[in-house]
Structure 1
Amino acid sequence: MDKLSALTMFVATAEFGSFSRAAEQLGKTPSALTKAVGHLETELGTRLFERTTRRMALTEAGQIYLEGARQALMQLQLAGEELDQLHHELRGSLRLIAPPSFGPAFLNEVCCRFMDAHPQVRLEVHLNDTFLDLIDGGYDLALRDGPTDLPGLIARPLTENRILLCCSPAYLERKGLEVSLETYLQHDWLIFRHPVLNRHFWWLRLDGERIRVPQPVPKLASDNFDFLLTCLLAGHGLQIVPQWSAAPYLASGQLVRVLPEYEMEPDAFGPWVHVLYLAHRRRTRKVRVFIEMLEGYLRERGIA
């Protein structure tokens, strides 16, 4: 019997928990699946399922073999996709997840460029602050600032997570008060609230010296970064903003940087924004092409 077919039938049987349901899904007969699993058990010299009249369950050996079979089938599928796309347009689907703030900052434009360049690829983009498991969620890649020491994932740095203190020129004119460590508590503040961020103090650096400063009482606090950014551009106060978000507004003059001599530490979000993907996806052409386009766009903006 064809080994690939036998593995496919074994995996389906394990996932559906019965020969009959798996057979219906694959368009085969239950006896064909029974025979395929039997061939595998004979070849391996061990039982893959415990069978009773009421139920069937994977043995310990079956659980180990299932993981290997899934990986083998996935690798063959990926290899087939790569061969098919060597001389053809990219096609299929690409699923990714990223924080909502990445959308208007750079991801919207990158996705539009990607769709223009590769119209046969279906994009599915989830903007969510909660980091979801790439395997369980079926994602090809993720963008993330924060911890990246996750098993089975490759973390590729995209851009430095440099933190700036910004406001609009209109705010400075209206407030009429310079921004310094002596006066910053007298200013209006727009503060992003996130479960991993410290709510009590910030760390600054000046000439190698690390300085702890208390956080001011915000005029406006929110768990939505882009909501705060709109208020910042409208002149309602000071806000701590990552450079990858502030860059176009600084270039256009809509925002100015204050206290530029101080370096602000990025807190729990870490010093880099990374693109994350599963190790077995590293050679997938559509993933590689999307990452290259993303890196190219950030270089254009001067924030790579």
Structure 2
Amino acid sequence: MDKLRLLELFLATCDGGSFAAAAKTCDTDPSTVSKAIGRLEAQLQLTLFQRSTRQLRITTAGRRYAATVRKLMQDLGACEDELKQLNDSPSGALRINSAACYGHLYLRPLLQAFCQRYPAIRLELEINDLHLDIIEHEIDVALRTGYVKDSRLVARRLSPMDFLVCASPHYLDTHGIPRNAEDFHQHSWIGFRIKESQQLQPIFLPDPHGQYQPYELARRHITDDGEAMAHMCADGLGFAQLPHFLAKQGLHSGALVSLYPYYRPPQPDSGVFAIFPKREYLPAKVRVFIEFMTAALDAMGEGTHHTWAENLDPVVSFPATQP
């Protein structure tokens, strides 16, 4: 029998004045209550009740102990009620960690509307490309792009991650439009260096049959910042293969154009994810944030299995068949 149950039976005995009354209150039998009180007294090395054939009388030590136990039980109950309320209502501090580009371009513009809807939630926002251990760093939810592999976490996909081959209109006017993957050897390319691995992000281009394949191309310029890569591309420094969330603003404004249909990595664990620790009872503040993000992305034409890039009309729909 655990200590908490012993204390519960002890208080019931104090209030009821007998083992029988305590047994009725706690849905057990008098023998169990008597043994529990004996075990508690043995642990404390104190006599809590004076027993006789006619009555049970609490001792001075028992009365003092009861006052302390009662306060502890009341404090524990109040704490449990408060924690349950916090867990069940969208309130308190919500600590969010987001990949840099996605955080700046997609998440930040939505935060005002989220805070207006849930004024009791306080945001603690971290934007970086570090793959932090969200359990160790006590992060409530992380927005990450790419691949997620951690059995301790729940990864809910917000959308696929579609890649678009982009260039500025000025660059295409000056250098021409490549008609197949081999033509890119004659063009300037902007590469992306992954910070964690320090390796260059691979380039996938369509073959003569329209199937995307990895291509080894020299990168004239290299950056480890996604937004910088998009701006360099819009400034006419060359081609870049941009994730859809990085290409969106430039395509919308006309600063960028897309050559081919989108490329989507075939792996099912690739995309944009909301990640949070596995919990049987998900805090309401996390639940409403994920629901809000899902609805906001849906309004932008994005969901678990699609993005707006599927409806984009590229400059070159298919690569020309090579002779």
Contact map agreement 2:202 2:215 (CA 8 A) in 1: yes
Deviation at 1:122, TM superposition (A): 1.2
Listed as ranges, the gaps of 5+ residues in structure 1 are 7-38, 44-73
Q: Following the alignment from structure 1 to structure 2, what is the Cα–Cα distance between the partners of residues 172 and 75?
A: 64
Contact map agreement 2:145 2:273 (CA 8 A) in 1: yes
The residue number in structure 1 matching 2:20 is none
The residue number in structure 2 matching 1:211 is 213
Q: Following the alignment from structure 1 to structure 2, what is the Cα–Cα distance between the partners of residues 270 and 189?
A: 28
Question: Which secondary structure state, in structure 2, belongs to the residue aligned with residue 136 of structure 1?
Answer: coil
The residue number in structure 1 matching 2:129 is 129
Matched, 1:228 2:233: no
The residue number in structure 2 matching 1:27 is none
Amino acid at match of 1:292: E
Question: Which secondary structure state, in structure 2, belongs to the residue aligned with residue 166 of structure 1?
Answer: strand
Deviation at 1:234, TM superposition (A): 2.2
Question: Which secondary structure state, in structure 1, belongs to the residue aligned with residue 178 of structure 2?
Answer: coil
Q: Following the alignment from structure 1 to structure 2, what is the Cα–Cα distance between the partners of residues 110 and 154?
A: 23
The residue number in structure 2 matching 1:82 is 87
Provide the aligned C-alpha RMSD in A: 3.4
Question: Which secondary structure state, in structure 2, belongs to the residue aligned with residue 263 of structure 1?
Answer: coil
Distance 1:250 1:270, change over 3 A: farther
The residue number in structure 1 matching 2:98 is 98
Distance 1:208 1:175, change over 3 A: closer
Q: Following the alignment from structure 1 to structure 2, what is the Cα–Cα distance between the partners of residues 247 and 208?
A: 23
Question: Which secondary structure state, in structure 2, belongs to the residue aligned with residue 95 of structure 1?
Answer: strand
The residue number in structure 1 matching 2:287 is 288
Question: Which secondary structure state, in structure 2, belongs to the residue aligned with residue 138 of structure 1?
Answer: coil
How does the TM-score come out when normalised to structure 1? 0.66
Q: How many residues align?
A: 233
Amino acid at match of 1:134: I
The residue number in structure 2 matching 1:278 is 277
Question: Which secondary structure state, in structure 1, belongs to the residue aligned with residue 100 of structure 2?
Answer: coil
Amino acid at match of 2:86: E
How does the TM-score come out when normalised to structure 2? 0.62
- Identity rate, percent: 27
The residue number in structure 2 matching 1:256 is 257
Q: Following the alignment from structure 2 to structure 1, what is the Cα–Cα distance between the partners of residues 177 and 287?
A: 49
Amino acid at match of 2:133: D
Amino acid at match of 1:215: L
Amino acid at match of 1:202: I
Amino acid at match of 2:170: A
| More divergent stretch after superposition (241-250 vs 284-293) | 241-250
